[in-house]
Amino acid sequence: AQRVTQPEKLLSVFKGAPVELKCNYSYSGSPELFWYVQYSRQRLQLLLRHISRESIKGFTADLNKGETSFHLKKPFAQEEDSAMYYCALHPGAGGTSYGKLTFGQGTILTVHP
């Protein structure tokens, strides 16, 4: 069974500082990894997925299969980045996973002015 671990429940940084939200996973196959974000009083929404290799709102994440990690990074944090961030894993295309995601515990990011 797959597992996703976000070791930091809370992360605080100052505006303009770099930020890295950690995500580690355990899965024997070739998973697809996602970052979802939940801003205050808003619904959970997709931030980015590793397969698209995009930069969204200045955030990037690289899948490191050797270290089984998918850390989320941003070089200069903004106050509007304050939110709850979830890392999520899908077992990959094919099989009978039915689109089910395994979520990490979440990290609350606070960016101070």
User: What distance in Å separates the CA atoms of residue 81 and residue 59, rounded to the nearest whole number?
Assistant: 10
Q: Mask 40-79, x = binds another protein (CB under 8 A)?
A: ---xxxx--x-x----------------------------
* Residues ≥6 apart with Cβ < 8 Å to 108: 9, 10, 11, 83, 84, 85
- Token look-up 């395994």 returns 102
Size of the residue set binding another protein (CB under 8 A):
25
Q: Which stretch binds another protein (CB under 8 A): 18-26, 54-62, 70-78, 99-107?
A: 99-107
Of residues 5, 74, 75, 58, the one with CA closest to residue 33: 5
Nearer to another protein, 56 or 78 (CB): 56
Q: Which residues bind another protein (CB under 8 A)?
A: 4, 6, 9, 32, 34, 43-46, 49, 51, 86, 90-93, 97-101, 103-106
